[in-house]
Structures are given as C-alpha cells and as structure tokens.
Amino acid sequence: MSIVTVDFDGTLYQHNSVMSMFKAGKAVFSFKQRFFVLLNFLKGSVIRTRENRVDLRVVLLASFFYQMKGKSIDEMNTFFESMAMAGRQSINFDLVSRLIKHLENGDRVIILSGALQPFLEVFIRQLDIRADVIGTSLFYDENGIFTGIIGKTNHGVDKVNKLKLWIQDNDASGELIWAYADSESDIPLLEYADKAVVVQPSNAMKNIAESKGWEVF
C-alpha cells in the first residue's frame, strides 16, 4: 500500500476554488454582505502588509466566511454543495483516473490542501472516490452554529506536518508516499515524498521538476 497525497487548487481542481466560492456566494449574500466582504478584505490586507504577513487568500477567505457567521452546519453544507456543483467543470478528470488506479491498487488517497475541509468533503462525495481529506477547518459552537472563524490554512511545510500526523494517527509509517501538486509552495511536500508528480506546472515549476527528476503529469 502507498499513501497518495493530492493538492487541490491547480492540481485536482484546475482553477482556484475561491472563484467557485464567490459564484456560490452570489446566491446567498446580499449586496451589503458583498460590500462588507470587500471592506474587511481591504482592512485585513492593510494590517497584514504592515505586519509583513501577507496571504491575501487567507484574508479573503476570512472576510468571506465571517459573513456566514450564525449559520447551522446544515446551512453551511448546503452552501458547500452548491459551491462544488458550480466547480464541476474544473475537475482534472485525467488525474481522477490516475487516482482511481491508485485506489484499485489498494493505495490510500489523501486530499491535502489549504481549501476548506467541508468543501473538500462534499467535493469528494460528489466525485464518488474514496479519499481522506485534510483541509482548513471551520469552527462551530457547542450548538453547531458557525462562529465565522476559519482555521489556519495548510501551506508549504504545514502540509508535511499534517501528513506526518496523519501517518502517525493511522499507523502508516514505512509506506511509500506519493505527492501530486502543482506549485512552488508545495515543494516541501514534493521533496518529502518518495514519488513526486508535478501536475500542469508553470514553466518555472516545470524547470524545477526537471532539475529534481520529478515526473510531470
């Protein structure tokens, strides 16, 4: 058995899931809420720039989901279902076919991404493949109401650390590790893997892959 890790945005999903998030948001957000998303995003961008911690994707996600504070788990799942449906045309079905072959060989597939955990779970159910998911968490109170707060995103070496925890929790040490990813931020994970596969890379990333002897898919 091998452990097969798969990045989401740009890899399994050929575009940015944030765009699907905004498409789905149009159906549930008022004009006022969309305005506050933009306002909070701009405020957060300024603060993070001053503190030299700029990650605009994180700022945008936090701004967007703060407007969903107070929704139940069922309401949030309904939103993620519509979000997944809106993005079905962006699925990398060639990579899905390869993952199915891994599964047929008895391998364990893990979607390891900075995308939101509940969105990834819904996406995998709609795709109808067996996979564990390690994504960015949402926080709910004791009554199952969304607090408007999201967790730390998986990025760079964080993915390696999360994978190590998964291996420990699942008693899977010693297994061959595959990593499918597309961007330079995923280099720590690709270097950690026994088999690194770079998916639809930019020219710069393709050059890196060739210099390290990684497969380009």
Predicted confidence (pLDDT) per residue in 63-83, tens digit: 888 889 999 999 999 999 988
Both structure tokens of 116: 């939101």
User: What residues does each domain of the chain span?
Assistant: 2-15+91-216
196-212 burial string, b = 16+ CB within 10 Å, else e?
bbbbebeeebeebbeee
pLDDT of residue 1: 87
CA 133 to chain centroid, in Å, comes to 9
Residue 47 pLDDT grade (very low, low, confident, very high; cuts 50, 70, 90):
low
Q: In angstroms, rounded to a whole number, what is the distance separating the alpha carbons of residues 216 and 192?
A: 17
Distances in whole angstroms, Cα of residue 159 to Cα of each of 103, 117, 155, 201: 22, 14, 6, 19
pLDDT of 37 strictly over 90: no
Radius of gyration of the chain (CA): 18
Share of the chain above pLDDT 70, in %: 86
Yes or no: domain 2-15+91-216 corresponds to CATH 3.40.50.1000: yes
pLDDT of 180 strictly over 80: yes
Q: pTM for this structure?
A: 0.88
pLDDT of residue 32: 66
Q: In angstroms, rounded to a whole number, what is the distance separating the alpha carbons of residues 91 and 76?
A: 22
Residues 99-121, mean pLDDT to the nearest whole number = 96
**DSSP one-letter string for 136-190:** E-EEE-TTSBEEEEE-PPP-THHHHHHHHHHHHHTT-TT-EEEEEE-SGGGHHHH
pLDDT of residue 44: 57
Q: In angstroms, rounded to a whole number, what is the distance separating the alpha carbons of residues 86 and 40?
A: 25
pLDDT of 156 strictly over 60: yes
**DSSP one-letter string for 103-140:** HHTTPEEEEEEEEEHHHHHHHHHHHT---EEEEE-EEE
pLDDT of residue 48: 52
